[in-house]
Amino acid sequence: MEPRRIGIPRRARAGLFALLGLLLAGAATTRSITDSAGRSVTIPAKVERVYAAGPPASIMVFALAPEKLLGWTRAMTAEEAAFLPKQYADLPALGRLTGRGNTANVEVVLAAKPDLIVDTGSTGPTFVSLADRVQEQTGMPYLLYDGTFAGTAGSLRALGTAMGNDARGKLLADYVERNLADVKAKVATISAERRPRVYYARSPSGLQTAFSGSINVEVLDLLGAINVAGTQRGTSGLANVSMEQVLAWNPDVIVTTDPTFFSSVWNDARWSGIAALQSSRVYLSPQLPFGWFDFPPGPNRVVGLFWLANILYPDVFHDDLRKRVSEFYELFYHQQPGVTQLDQLLNPPAVPQR
């Protein structure tokens, strides 16, 4: 005698199927992502619209999937726009949620209707708190990724996965890892006595600088140069210093990101006795479309690593910089620079007549 089968009433079966359908639908439309700060965030399964909270995040999202970037933190200048495909250079200015001079507010974010908000940089308590607060106020998922040079490759992979661009994230991350390892291996062969003493001059006066260990001078630190300002102290990596202090440091090399400082320092009597001026070793970092050394401290700095390595250690690094720059710009900025643009980037500004 066969055992009796216990059936489920038709109405109950229909209810169970409906519940299962809702559960499957929910699983298909969202997923959980853990960001660099260890925050577990529920995001849409399909991400098409991304709001970048700050300049480094803008560059990272643009490099991974330019069609998903909703806008820049500020409008591109004509000079900057020339280095990017026009449809992306013309994206609107939405302001920034993080960093100094933040200009965006919750209303701006809501009006942009993003699927996802992304920031890269510090993952410390201040920025975690901001991410949580904006997420709560807007109801939109907010992911925070490590913006340090060491964390760049991992953040590219992770953000690529979050945005649904896994292959692209792997491609860019592999490029960063491969080139960073090559630079580190070459720097390791350079003895301590051959490493130059370098001063990073920020601001038009040149009297703001950054300590070793700050995100602003990671290019310098990775190249093993001696930062005359010393190691980061306290919570800030930046400091204003006196002219007397710079004279006492007497750096062999000065790197600056400020065109005003670069053009004026050559004829400023206060700086004239410094070793870097005596040997004409003051270098202005290229800035187009994004800074190579700093401003912002994002993946854009990879190309600056090549540039400064060849300046500081010409006997060790023998790169074809035009080829290096073309490759990087095509990969990260989706457009190769033309011959004239390469000249603009790589031919140093003329030293003013002294």
The DSSP bridge pattern shows strands 40-44 and 30-34 to be antiparallel
Average pLDDT along the chain: 91
Q: State CA 197 to chain mean position distance.
A: 26
Place of tokens 């001063």: 199
DSSP state letters, 109-161: HHHH--SEEEEEE--SHHHHHHHHHHHHHH---EEEEE-STTTHHHHHHHHHH
pTM of the model: 0.89
Sorting pLDDT into bands at 50, 70 and 90, what band is 3? very low
CB atoms within 10 A of CB 111: 9
- pLDDT for res 6: 47
Q: Does 204 sit behind a cis peptide bond, omega within 30 degrees of 0 on the bond before it? A: no
Alpha carbon distance 346, 325 (integer Å):
9
Q: Is the pLDDT of residue 4 over 90?
A: no
SS3 content of the chain, % helix, strand, coil (to 5): 45, 15, 40
Of the listed ranges 24-33, 36-45, 179-188, the least confidently predicted one is 24-33
- pLDDT for res 349: 77
Angle at 71 between CA 69 and CA 75, to 5 degrees: 145
Place of tokens 């994230």: 169
The fraction of the chain above a pLDDT of 70, given in percent, is 88
DSSP-assigned beta bridge partners for residue 255 = 200, 283
Q: What pLDDT digit, counting tens, does each position of 107-138 carry?
A: 889 999 999 999 999 999 999 999 999 999 99
Q: Is the pLDDT of residue 345 over 80?
A: yes
Name the region of 213 (left: φ>0; alpha: ψ -120 to 50; beta: rest): left
Question: Domains of the chain by range and CATH?
Answer: 29-182 (3.40.50.1980), 192-318 (3.40.50.1980)
Q: What pLDDT digit, counting tens, does each position of 205-244 carry?
A: 999 999 999 999 999 999 999 999 998 766 578 999 999 9
DSSP-assigned beta bridge partners for residue 34 = 40
Q: What pLDDT digit, counting tens, does each position of 238-276 carry?
A: 999 999 999 999 999 999 999 999 999 999 999 999 999
From residue 202, give the alpha-carbon distance in Å to each of 115, 239, 255, 340: 36, 10, 9, 27
The fraction of the chain above a pLDDT of 90, given in percent, is 83
H helices, E strands: number in the chain = 15, 11
